[in-house]
Chains A and B, each alone.
Chain A
Amino acid sequence: MTTAALAPGAESARFSRTREGATVLAVYLTSIAVALLVAALVLWATGGSPTTVLSAMLDGSVRADARWGRTISEAIPLLLVALGTTVNAKAGLVNIGQEGQLFVGAALATYVFTHIGVSGPFVLILIMLAGVVGGAIWAGIASALRYRRRMPEVLTTLLLVFVAAQLVGYGLKNSNLLLDPTPDQANRLLVSERLDPSTRLPRLSWFGNEFPVSAFVALALAVVVALVLSRTIVGFRLQMLGRGPRTAHRAGVSESRYGGMALVVSGAFCGLAGAFMLVGGDFGNYRLTPGFAVNIGWEGLLVALVARSHPIVAIPAAFVFAALRTGSGFLAATGVDRDITKVVQALLVLALLGPPAILFVRDRRRALAAARDRV
């Protein structure tokens, strides 16, 4: 057997590990520096001071009293949304409708607690379940359209965000559905009834910082998602689908079953995030409001992107993004509009999108150059 005639193909993979690591780090740091520089330039141009802004943001997110508890509270739904997004991303699907799925989840949860007539811890579970179902249904529509009508899930999930906003808005105008039927509330404030204190999620208080216990649920779920993806057959097959759909099909992975499931699970996570926001009390003060989702869905998606679909990495990423949110609350004193944090967030995401793409193309080119024209 003339095996020796074969070229050693793995040759290109042989490189100095430390040098490679340094290169990767340098590329990332440069990108992030450029992003922050751009943000600073925007501030300068509008007469703001980057250092004051930074200091105010640090105060608002961690340094000031009770602020890091607040940041954790905001990180919970961000993390949950990011975890859901990880699942669909692994299956090779692009879900960008988290904001809608979250909102529908929260709305269904609200509908359940306003109509069930009883309260108590048992109802809490039911509310959570309703949130999961709501999010799952909303993503399920996109899933069905993807696998029955071959409509790109990117567009359907996106369009459904707008439908969700209007639909829930309609519910909040109608006292049969979501609107608080108390007479002096109606028509003036479009809000739902308030959650009964016995049905609220317990809150922990550590060193003067408060956050709901859902933080631990979110952390546990991050570990679960990580384990399912790396240690189970389902996780393995899901990733196979995402990376080589035809190979996966041949190996017995049904695209519609696994892909459809991934999208539904993704929506379920968003719905759960919505339900936790409702029962946790940090958003809307235990009421559903028209602007209830407050961009958590969009930003959770960004968290997943920054974490490169890694569930454990998503934990610190969610905290950082939450810190940008809570930090922006302290900007009013500096006279800088809080929307600057959105700019910083998006710039950070763009900065983190570049390097992996650059490195990917470079690695592939190397491998191809080594393999080209030879076997």
Chain B
Amino acid sequence: MTAPPAAELEGITKRFGAVVACDDVHLALQRGEIHGILGENGAGKSTLMKVLIGLVLPDAGMIRVSGEPCRISDPAEAAEYGIGMVHQHFSLVEPLTVWENAILGERIRLDAASARQRVSEISERYGLDIDPDERVSDLSAGLRQRVEIIKCLRRDPAIVILDEPTSVLTPGESEQLFAVLRRVVEQENKAVALVSHKLDEVLTATDRITIMRAGTVVDRRDTTDADAPGLARAMVGRPVSLRSEGAALGHIEALDGEAAAEGSESEPSAESAEESPVLSISAATAKGRDGRVLLDGLSLEVYPGEIVGVAGVEGNGQAPLSDLLSSLLPLESGTVRVRDSEPVPGRPGSMAAAGVAVIPADRHESGCVLDMTVAENLTLVSPPRSRLGRAFLDRAGREAVAERLIEQFGIQTSGADAPMWSLSGGNQQRVVLARELSGDPAVLVAAQPTRGLDVGAIEYVSERLREAARQGVGVLLISTELPEVLDLADRIVVIFRGRIVGEMDRAGMDVERLGLLMSGAQEAAAS
């Protein structure tokens, strides 16, 4: 190959405070190749890509596009150099149509007819099959991603970056996505960078792999020379033995054997069969304000001491289920029972009072209050009351509780009176965890509890969930990361379009069937 790479990053270094996100990183993206960038959460791969499209300015290093050195300070400039990114979240405006979204951010005069036509063209060329006049709010997650791809390809970029593109897709949809990417690479001779923490994905879809760890590149390989255990080792920096790490890396095969072997040692479901469930949701139906069905007759039971995993593709009712158990969602019909009580869904605090603890997916929205102190956040649900009277706060008592929990859960903070927003994400999550577990709950709902955390924190959270189960708490794990569910859950239920469509326990785990259930192929998989 004599032509220079489509893009070259040389010696990129970026620090955030004391943290080095990228440390002297070199990377070359070649035309006609899908380049996988593999690493744990927080390994610096996202930062690197943000440097390339101008969202983050590096402290040191140089970018070359087609051999020419250049300075990229915002996404518009990146677009001029032919670099485009397929965003995962927050990039589409729902009430606008597909074509309006596709041309958002361009600088040329608005011409509806030609815009529509180009969207149709691109959609045909890559087999994306989408109607330019449809409103994005009416589209499924998979179709929305196609809009994102069109939005990116419309500028005809030489380099396409995808950041964790499969998190919202079913296995089937992921395959389709990779087929599209293959077409982009082969027909148009573009360079594609695929950022991922999932081994399988990188192994099947890419031509070349760069592995990052703690801000540095630790290995580079051709995909044909790579194998899963080797990649995993390179990524984590030591042989992968812990199951939770396997989960974090998205490596399902590695788990299957282990899961079966370890399944018997802590097998609570046998004894729990005689007990009554701590949580039972029956035929829960709820509609959103816009009339969309959120839950469609969902039924579910959790017994004490077991971890029930709710698997499913994002957007199939996980958020409403979590909201229901956070007393945020009223039901149209159906009931929720917690132990012997029947809390009223949607009534403020009803679920918490009944003994449901929740680690919400978006901790900033319903898990903590950023503008309050750590101590206040640790005692949100039941603040210590003064001996002077039940109406008064016991501020000394609150301090004491906070100090104890900070110690017990290893929360790193400058003090109990530090504002919540000054904590890192992992420590904020520990605050939520500490508060919820300290309330002696009957049920613990964990929605995407490890999203955005690094391996250490993932391990910690997973261990806490297991421990809660060992102490007899019924744990409901709602996660779109299948490996995480497979790793932790004693029993798995599959959620699809607001309904539970299938169930299997640890012994009868069948990953293929799970995939089918998650994609809605219910009949095919029904037993």
Contact = CB atoms under 8 A, between A and B. Distances in A.
A6 B457 contact: yes
Given A232-B392, A232-B393, A243-B369, A373 B454 contact: no
Q: For the complex, would chain A's binding face be called helix, strand, loop or mixed by DSSP majority?
A: helix
A10 B412 contact: yes
B456 A5 contact: yes
A91 B390 CA distance: 21
B466 to A, nearest CB: 13
A234 B391 CA distance: 7
B516 interface: no
Interface in A79-131: none
A231 B424 contact: no
B383 A374 contact: no
Interface stretch (A18-26, A173-181, A304-312, A363-371): A363-371
B130 interface: no
Contacts of A370: 16-17, 19, 424
A255 interface: yes
A3 B412 CA distance: 9
Nearest to B41: A375
Contact of A239 (B17, B360, B368, B372): B372
A121 B107 CA distance: 74
Given A5-B456, A10-B422, A367-B421, A375 B410 contact: no
A256 to B, nearest CB: 9
Contact of B457 (A231, A235, A375): A375
Interface string B28-41: 00000000000001
Which size class do A's interface residues fall under? 35 or more
A243 B459 CA distance: 31
Interface of B: 16-19, 21, 41-42, 44, 46-47, 50, 326-328, 347-353, 358, 360, 365-372, 376, 380-381, 383, 385, 390-393, 395, 410, 412-414, 418-419, 421-428, 452-457, 459-460, 463
A17 interface: no
Contact of A373 (B42, B328, B349, B456): B42
Interface in A249-265: 249-255, 257
A371 B47 contact: no
Given A8-B412, A249-B328, A370-B19, A375 B370 contact: no
Interface string A271-287: 00000000000000000
A233 B352 contact: no
A250 B326 contact: yes
B456 A243 contact: no
Nearest to A237: B383
A221 to B, nearest CB: 18
Given A13-B418, A240-B369, A374 B326 contact: no
27 contacts: A2-B456, A3-B410, A4-B456, A6-B412, A9-B424, A9-B427, A12-B17, A13-B414, A13-B418, A13-B419, A240-B369, A240-B372, A243-B370, A244-B371, A246-B326, A247-B369, A248-B369, A249-B327, A249-B366, A250-B348, A250-B352, A250-B360, A252-B349, A253-B348, A257-B348, A367-B421, A374-B21
Given A247-B369, A375-B454, A253 B459 contact: no
B21 A253 contact: no
Contact of B455 (A5, A233, A374): A5
